Structure 1
């Protein structure tokens, strides 16, 4: 994972990411991306950005390796 860590505006984003992982398993990141695309298509920039960050968070939460500095 070479991207910057996601920006978390509130704890609800973590809950949404966890719910997507529970509901969609390995496809959770694709579901978040789909929701982001749907929001963009509707012209809802705020929800588009929110779902993109949740997509990044899902990828971080489901990564097999530690991300970032490990002490």
Structure 2
């Protein structure tokens, strides 16, 4: 995962609010349907990041 994914997740959250993860999942599904496995993986990562960014609590170990 790179900083581009973070930027995409932030942009989706700004545009779609709580539905950002769903939008990323839709984009991943569209990419898979088009046979673009690289974009599929990217949007799945963005989807997971959107979910993590929406959680108010810390999850796991913080260093």
| Bin for the TM-score computed over the shorter chain | over 0.9
Calculate the TM-score normalised by the size of structure 2. Answer: 0.93
The C-alpha deviation readout for 1:5-33, integer Å capped at 9, x for no partner, is: xxx1x211100000000000000000000
Distance 1:48 1:56 in 2: 13
Q: State the number of aligned residues.
A: 63
Of 2, 6, 13, 2:5 maps to 13
The alignment status of 1:44 with 2:36, answered yes or no, reads yes
Unaligned runs of 5+ in 2: none
Q: Counterparts of 1:41 and 1:51 in 2: how far apart (Å)?
A: 13
TM-score, normalization: structure 1? 0.84
Q: Which runs of 5+ in 1 are unaligned?
A: 1-7
Alignment RMSD, CA only? 1.0
Q: Give the 4+ runs in structure 1 shifted more than 2 A.
A: none
2:58 alignment partner, SS class: coil
3-state DSSP class of the match of 1:19?
helix
CA distance in 1, matches of 2:38, 2:28: 10
What is the distance in 2 between the residues matched to 1:26 and 1:58?
9
